[in-house]
Chains A and B, each alone.
Chain A
């Protein structure tokens, strides 16, 4: 069946394309795009007037929690949430239980993601950099690569030993595979629960200093510079990290980085009365950090936006702040938050917004995604966003199994309305003429 997305604003940073026009999808492929009318070629026509037609969004940093923590999220529920958020490809992190350190587990992930009940989005697994995710001994990275991982990461278990990290980089360079680095000096962050600052001092909560992140970022950049390994820094949260990455890039280091919406919107002051919904790793920092992160998004120092979707069961979050787990869900709020807090404020152009949410993460992780160009992706990955739709996030309507977010009830402007990954996999109920709100 052919589908025509009609009269939308086509935004494709990979082609530097920002035009009003139509996109025709046929036989699961984008077959044509442009300003010309193609109504007579399509079986079904969607009026996208006032909306953006973009390459499917790509999230480089998602926790699907399966295997082992299915009470928080599953591959099925997580991919459905991803489709509802406008994503067509997501990278799932390896700190599951057991960790994704062997090919059988990668097969398991890929099989589950391809099952009919899943959300229909591509899942790109990230392998555990170390065996058992213990940060002690390298995983069999070649076998993981053969099994289909797109990168290796020490997510959840930051490698403290510099010699081990250097060996990991040498190995990943040989395998032509990026390392996604969790940058945290554990000796500085140990027992910390929030940003070390005035608020932590007042609340009597052990703080995590900026230096815990900055030192690890600097070390990893130095090692990447020395080895030539492609390094992707996850979750930038401090101004110091921004400056260090800027310097490293200036020196020619093959380094990229991501930021999560909460780190360009929220600050540690919001922890206030010990609300665990604001307990995130790395912790929420200060307004200075937020301001410099936004500048870095604008000037390209920060390459992409990642949700760091980290589901936790409600009973785990309903705990004293010190005992609550780190992290929040984010797949279904990222478009609204990014457009509300960056794009509509004129801080990012629409084309740059899509670049951060799709083109750049696809490029960094060498994924077959991030563009509308016919033939560039195995099947069509297209997201339609209504940038002007004002809505309020209701966490009870999420597809995720978990509801840990500080953005429940948050008013936003901008929402993913349609997600295509081959066929239509999500259509928002607020889309005009919608028959249903669904996930395939």
Chain B
């Protein structure tokens, strides 16, 4: 059974992204209809969260629960890393403690790549620095598909602190690869100075950026950055970039409002946008569980077909054994 990593959407081929989305949708259906799910009992996932996170961690734990996997939690506080151990040695320790896989969140961009190198796989990136958050993008894609039926041809505006956002990067790669047009919208101070290698156009005016958009994805503003050199004030940001009843008129009718959470209500969006009919924020959270089930299943060798470009997505060596036997129950 081939094991593989899920480190970044940027590394994935289109058919791999589609496979993960299909799997997520199928697993959601099975959960909702109380149908049989892949049985991955006997596998233990290490949950390494070196940054504060509640929703992503709980979402992965819930996904593991549905698949009958056990999860073992590790955090930086109180762990060997707080005693000065290197990430490499922590990863090696977990490998030889016979954990079957790792879900890792880390403040350093690229840390999951290092973990994959020394753990041997499967390793799932649950958010690394300002780089990527692949399962967030997959959950968002399922949500868009549920409401819009397709991704190809949509115009998606990603609004806010693009510079520091791993959610923005993963979503942009996924949406671009599946045929959507991506607009990045935000103040110059929160936009990469050189965006040429990112798959989207850059807009500094909200109206220009979200004009006729089918989806508006708000990004969370990190308040601690707001009053430094990044932007003059929260109030000014809200005045310029808030998604609300007024500004949503610039977007296409029926435009979806998304947010990866946690919300800064009244800053990135107002009550109308956050709670109104166009908001799909709670669906994003829910779908996050199902795509994380899909990701776990996919990384442990499930799925409908052999990976067409495994080398680009995985450094996993198939030297480790696993009891995962989903028996092909999940259609894709």
Contact = CB atoms under 8 A, between A and B. Distances in A.
Interface of A: 196-207, 209, 273-274, 315, 318-323
A201 B110 contact: no
Given A204-B131, A205-B109, A323-B108, A318 B88 contact: yes
A319 B86 contact: yes
Contacts of B111: 320, 322
Given A315-B88, A319-B86, A320-B87, A201 B109 contact: no
B196 interface: yes
B145 interface: no
B108 A273 contact: no
Interface of B: 10, 86-88, 106-111, 113-114, 118, 128-132, 166, 169, 192-198
Nearest to A271: B110
Given A196-B193, A321-B109, A321-B110, A203 B86 contact: no
Nearest to A274: B110
Nearest to A316: B86
Contacts of A320: 87, 106, 108-111, 114
Contact of B113 (A201, A207, A273): A273
A205 B194 CA distance: 12
Contact of A322 (B129, B166, B196): B129
Nearest to A273: B113
Contact of B194 (A198, A204, A315, A318): A198
A103 to B, nearest CB: 35
Contact of B130 (A198, A205, A274): A205
B326 to A, nearest CB: 29
Q: For the complex, would chain B's binding face be called helix, strand, loop or mixed by DSSP majority?
A: loop
B193 A209 contact: yes
Contacts, number: 76
Nearest to B7: A273
Given A198-B195, A201-B194, A204-B166, A318 B129 contact: no
A196 B129 contact: no
Contacts of A200: 192, 194
A204 B113 contact: no
A269 to B, nearest CB: 9
A198 B196 contact: yes
A204 B129 contact: yes
Contact of A318 (B86, B106, B132): B86
Given A315-B88, A319-B87, A320-B87, A203 B194 contact: no
Nearest to A322: B108
A200 B109 CA distance: 10
Nearest to A209: B193
A407 B181 CA distance: 40
Contacts of A321: 108-110
Chain B CB count within 10 A is highest, among A201, A318, A319, A321, for A201
B113 to A, nearest CB: 5
Contact of B131 (A198, A203, A207): A203
Contacts of B129: 204-205, 322
B184 to A, nearest CB: 10
A199 B194 CA distance: 8
Contacts of B131: 203-205
A197 B108 CA distance: 18
B110 A322 contact: yes
Contacts of B108: 320-323
Given A198-B198, A201-B196, A320-B110, 13 more contacts: A196-B193, A196-B194, A197-B193, A198-B194, A202-B10, A204-B166, A274-B109, A315-B86, A319-B86, A319-B87, A320-B87, A320-B114, A321-B109
B86 A201 contact: no
Contacts of A318: 86, 88, 114, 118
